[in-house]
Chains A and B, each alone.
Chain A
Amino acid sequence: MELFEAIILSVLAASTPLLIAATGELVTERAGVLNLGVEGMMIVGAACGFGGALLTGSTTVGAICGIAAGTALSLVFALMTLGLAVNQVATGLALTILGIGLSGLIGAGFVGERITPAPQLYIPGLTDIPVLGRILFGEDGFVYASLLMVVGVWLFLYRTRSGLIIRAVGDNHVSAHALGYPVLKIRLGAVMFGGACAGLAGAYLPLAYTPFFVPGMTAGRGWIALALVVFSSWRPGRLVIGAYLFGAVTILQLHAQGWGVGIPSQFMSALPYLATVIVLVLISRARAGGSTAPAALGTVFVPDR
């Protein structure tokens, strides 16, 4: 049972950054903007988050630094794609290339340093319940925050007027503009939320997942988060399922390596990436014909006056 508990705990930890980043990107894409720079914003968020925590000794400051870094990069993206009407795919790629370089530069001095990992919740009595206690009441704050965020985003998108407007902008920016909604401002907000989430997701890695910083430590998680948004059909609820499934694949392959299944470790490590490809194919096939993507996703909008 202890192994079961350990596996569930590590699955939750592995899934959380994916869930946070994907939730942010989901909102961005719901507003019709495809930001492929998630990986870049995450890795800079990781470097800045670790730096903040290292200097102050506080996880919260680290998380805020990560959020700030992610938001700052998303502003660059917004300036390009919303302000200058540049192709979103190309700009997202540029953001990732720039982010990887920046994080190496910022994090160069952090390699080899260690910090105290984010504290875990402890409620006397509840956390001590065998097996389920630690899983339900003994996580770090990020895990709870990520789930709250998904609920919040769901409520916002489907139960508020602002959420409806965001979805309208993402589905048909010309009509939304004609109705008088400030399409570009709304998209700016959505892009910044996506950036903040990506930065936080990146910061989670050195703050809670492993208590140190390694260059390139996001290892494609930003891209997997992008795939998860497709997997979820742009619905927050399915995002949770997808993120936990991917977390499970990541952790199971790690354990399988430990058990010495006899399969080379590199093949096991490739599993999450292969799983992403397979899932994308299956989900796209199942939807053949009727796409569920926001109709205006990835298209440039220049208001005519």
Chain B
Amino acid sequence: MLLVLEKRAEQSNTVALASPLIAICLTIVTMSILFAILDKNPISALGVYFIDPLTDGYSLQEIAVKAAPLVMIGIGLSLCYLANVWNIGAEGQLLAGAVAGSWLAVKTQGTDAGAWVLPTMLLMGAVAGALYALIPALCKVRFGASEILTSLMLVYVADLFLDYLVRGPWRDPAGFNFPTTAKFDPVATVPALIEGGRLHLGVVIALIVVAGAAVLLGRTIKGFEIRVVGAASRAARFGGFKSNRVILLTFAISGALAGLAGIIEVAGPVGHLQPGISPGYGFTAIIVAFLGRLNPMGILIAGLFLALTFIGGEQAQIAMKIPLDVTKVLQGLLLFYVLACDSLILYRFRLISPSPKAHHGVV
């Protein structure tokens, strides 16, 4: 008997809905085994990871705060992936946005600049992220250079540039030589939604982005164009859609969203520019986009789930001394399982008995 993969006549909608859930279950099973290997009680470890953060208000707010950048970036990346172009440098675009917005915060520090500072910072962050994402997009469109490699390389460049700024020209003179800018002024800080709470304006912006993407993809020609270019570029050409313009547009949008997420992170939860402002949001957002089936609502849920793994991972490190890298392993496994389950939307397994003929081709 032989197990073979066979294309389904139609996509399976049942599998499409169940696939993320199956993937999460498989991840949890694998994690229990990993916890057992690490000599931790799997049940209590899973409890700390996935249940405990849901039981107190502070952690719940923290999940929303962590989910905001993941959802924003994930939405942008999903547009690229729908158009069948691979922006994997969102982390770099996030840093570019953070740097550009911080420039204004640093320059207006200690002046009597008014309420215009924060909106301008957010705008600058989005524009810088978009411009930074347009570099690999233009290299792709104009010269045919692989956007995968160029966008990824630019992550390292942005990281080093940020490092230079906070160790050099922007370093806080009163910061005991730590590589950080001074704390941003109140006018350059993303306001909290409730006084003393963790929720901030970025969470609202993330929700608006989800709604916007749902409208763009579900209700506009532009959204249709993105899908067609990704699914059938030849058909798109016959339809008069310009795939190059779609590539530039999706990269620009995803870069802008990553840049916006970056400056919100700096001006919000972090409060100043320093290295390591992002625990890899730009990369985790790739998982968010796929787990959410490249669908805005799905991405919102997936973003919340991955934010939960970040918070759970931090709590598991404190409570059970489980290394933080376990979270990365968990996230990587999750992506594997999602992709594997997604395969069953298009294909199914069939048992066949190999006939001797099938093994001898015409040679």
Contact = CB atoms under 8 A, between A and B. Distances in A.
Contacts of B286: 93, 97
Contact of B331 (A97, A269, A304): A97
A83 interface: yes
B336 A274 contact: no
A280 B145 contact: yes
B153 to A, nearest CB: 4
Given A104-B323, A180-B361, A226 B149 contact: yes
A291 to B, nearest CB: 8
B339 A264 contact: no
- Overall SS of chain A's interface: helix
B335 A105 contact: no
B231 interface: no
Interface in B1-22: 4-7
Contacts of A291: 144
- Overall SS of chain B's interface: helix
Interface in B237-291: 283, 286-287, 290
Contacts, number: 160
A295 B362 CA distance: 23
Contacts of A85: 5, 343, 346-347
Contact of B339 (A86, A220, A227, A288): A86
Contacts of B128: none
B88 A93 contact: yes
B156 interface: yes
A90 interface: yes
B339 A90 contact: yes
Interface string A222-234: 0100110010000
Contact of A76 (B144, B287, B336, B342): B336
Given A84-B343, A276-B153, A305-B352, A287 B144 contact: yes
A80 B326 contact: no
A266 B164 contact: yes
A87 interface: yes
Contacts of B360: 180
A89 B335 contact: no
Interface residues on B, range: 35 or more
B93 interface: no
A267 B149 contact: no
A281 interface: yes
A80 B148 contact: no
Contacts of B148: 36, 89
Given A101-B325, A104-B325, A104-B328, A280 B361 contact: no
Most buried by A among B4, B146, B332: B332
Contacts of A135: none
Most buried by B among A93, A102, A104, A304: A93
Nearest to B335: A94
Contacts of B86: 89
Nearest to A303: B4
A101 B156 contact: no
Given A230-B149, A266-B163, A105 B326 contact: yes
B335 A179 contact: no
A76 B339 CA distance: 12
A302 B5 contact: yes
Given A94-B339, A179-B363, A230-B146, A269 B329 contact: no
Given A84-B343, A220-B153, A264-B168, A302 B328 contact: no
A19 B39 CA distance: 39
B143 interface: yes
Nearest first, the 10 A-B pairs at minimum CB distance are A180-B361, A98-B332, A101-B328, A104-B325, A101-B329, A266-B164, A94-B335, A97-B332, A284-B145, A266-B160
9 contacts: A93-B286, A98-B332, A223-B152, A266-B163, A276-B149, A284-B143, A285-B142, A285-B143, A288-B143
Given A98-B329, A98-B332, A101-B330, 9 more contacts: A94-B335, A102-B332, A105-B326, A179-B363, A219-B156, A266-B164, A273-B157, A274-B153, A302-B347
